[in-house]
Structure formats: structure tokens, C-alpha cells
Amino acid sequence: MRNLTGEEQQWVRDVLKKIEDKMVPVTQRNLDKIPYTTKDGKFDDKSASEITWWTNGFWGGEMWQLFKLTGNEMFRQQAIEVEDKLDANLMITEGLDHDNGFKWLPTSVIRYKLEKEPKSLNRAMLAAGNMAGRFNMAGNFIRAWNNWDNVDRRGYAIIDCMMNLPLLYWASEETTDPRFKMMAVAHADTAMRDFVREDGSVNHIVVYDPETGKMKESLGGQGYGVGSSWTRGQSWGIYGFALSYRYTGDKKYLETSKKIADYVISELPDSYLVPIDYRQPKDVDLEDSTAAAITASGLIELSFLLDEGGDKYLDAAIKLLKTLDEKRISWGLDTDNLLNNCAVDYHGDGHNMSIIYGDYYFIEAVMKLAGNALCIF
């Protein structure tokens, strides 16, 4: 990765200062919460309403990053409180799925790495064991979701899971038991074959026969439709395959990350305001700032891993982050969130909102540029 220019370094310092200036008072007025989104600019609290919600680890992860940035003990205490609250989730089978990584990597795993807390090790291994139990040996994939809403999801796998595989990689490293890594590699190989198209676009959902493992179909999922290009899914692909390369050293994963990244860069609009789907109708003006932030962090991760040829990925990441800073972030103290214009999916009603993982990945990405981000995933 090239060195940042003096102007870029100053921008990073300025943004990190703005993050600290905002997040100290925001956190002080949201003690004891696990936010997901905002209502009238104020954070909600998933710990009070839905402790199994898939995003509930990101606030803890944000707190750990802010503790690293500032040294403020308040952030560490809030991260630990999130981790403690998630114990309730470990006792609810229907609330455990492939997203165990998103919950316990930013909370228990990072705390164990930093402090060797035995309770954190126990929690993370319980989450990893549960995730390993979702592995389908016939199809070599990790089942994504449970059968809530009376939908048969036994054969569902999703691109998002690439970001949860580090929980299994970490479990193998920590225990020296190769089983977890074997499952992660098998799933990554399946995703590389069945999710990533020739042009670098990706499927969101692939459905397999749970008995035979044979691929049945792909679904549009949270994107525009079958065969489209859901932007957050593209970001999970860039970042997730880069992480599988980091943990395994297998260059096919690095090449896959590059393939997806090259497609994304070719599809980014001149405005660098990312749509919900790169193949949504031209007359539709729907954005997803979370996809922009995750893409940026993934591109930075990819650039770190390349000895040469990484500058274009870093350049695109900086443009995405600067655009968010200038046009899509509420820096004032009258709102709790950072990012605006986030979206859950294309066809639902979750548009033009704030979402906690958008804030998390923006902070993580800028801290990566500064060289002081915690390695959570």
C-alpha cells in the first residue's frame, strides 16, 4: 500500500478528531444501550427489545475501536457491558446462526485478544461451536438462517457469511484444532464457486438441497432481484475473501477479492454515493451508505495484502470515505448516528435511515488509514 499524502494524513486526523468529539457525548447519553438505528435522531436499544438481533455486536466493536483511539475508559466499560448482555443470546437457540461472528468477534474475541479474559474465551468458543454445528457436509456450506417465519431455510447460504468465517479461523488458531478452519475453508470454496460470477458480481443467497448439497437456485435477497448486484453483498465479498486470504495464505481468495473489487470500482457512480444495487433501475435513486463504508474498509484491507497493484483500491476507498464525511454524516451533537442514507434492502421500507454497522465500518476504515485500528475480523 502506498503512503498517504500529507493532505490525506491531515484529513484522517481531522476526521478522527470529529469522531471523538461526537462519540464521547453520544456514548455518555446512551449508556446501557445496544443501538441498531435512530428515531428522531436518538438511538434505539436492541438490548431491551431484541437481544438476538444480528447487529448487536457492532456497538461493542465500535466501543473497542474508540477505546483504542482515545484511551477513554468509558468506551471499554460499554464494550464489556454489551458482551455481558449478549450472554442471554447464547441461551436462545433460535437466535444463534451464521451471524455469531458479527456478534462475538467484535466483543468477546477482541476482548480476549486484548485482555485474556477467560469469560470472553468461553463465550467466543460457544459461539464458534454453534456456528460450526451449522456446517452442511453434503454441500460444504454453513447454513445461514433458522426457519423463522415458517420458511424452510435448511439449504440457505449467503455471501454475508464470508465475514463471519474469521470466528472459525480464530477458533482453530486458539485451540490448535483444525476442524474449525476446515469448515471455514470449505465454505469459502463453495462461496467462491457458486456466489461469485465471472464478472465479479455476486449472488446474495444461494439455495442448496440440504440432503444432497446440490445447488438449486440463487435468490435476489436484499438486492433488486435475481442476477442483480446488491452493493452490501459486494462489500461483504471484497472484505470476506480478503480475510480468508489473511487467515489461510491461499492466493485464490486474494484473487477473488480483487475480482469483486475490480467489478465494484467499475460500477461506482461518479458521485461515489453508493446505490443499494449496482443493477437497480437507472431512474431509481436509492442509496446505501453502509455499503460505501464497508466497501471502503474492505478495499483498504485488500490494499494492505498486496505487494503491488493496491493503490487503485486505496484511492477508491479514500474517495468513498471522503464522500461520506462531506455529504452523508451528521457531525452535529443533535443526532446520535454518524451515517445517513443507509438501507436495509431494496424492496423493503428500510431506506434513508441510520444503521449501527455503517458507523462501525466508517470508524474502522478511517482508523485503518491511521494505522491504529483494532483487528476485529
Residues serving a catalytic function are 99, 160
Residue 287 in contact with residue 345, Cβ under 8 Å? no
Report the number of secondary-structure helices (H) and strands (E) in the chain.
14, 7
Compute the distance between CA of residue 345 and CA of residue 71 in angstroms, rounded to an integer.
Answer: 36
Among residues 222, 262, 264, 260, which one has the least CA distance to residue 244? Answer: 260
Which grid coordinates are listed for 347?
424492496
Beta bridge partners of 316: none
Q: What is the DSSP string of 80-102?
A: HHHHHHGGGGGG-GGG-STTHHH
Compute the distance between CA of residue 368 and CA of residue 215 in angstroms, rounded to an integer.
Answer: 38
Strands of the 205-208 sheet, one edge to the other: 156-158, 205-208, 215-219
Q: What is the DSSP string of 111-140?
A: HHHHH--HHHHHHHHHHHHHHHTTEETTTT
- Residue 56: CB partners within 8 Å, gap ≥ 6? 34, 36, 46, 47, 82, 85, 86, 89, 103
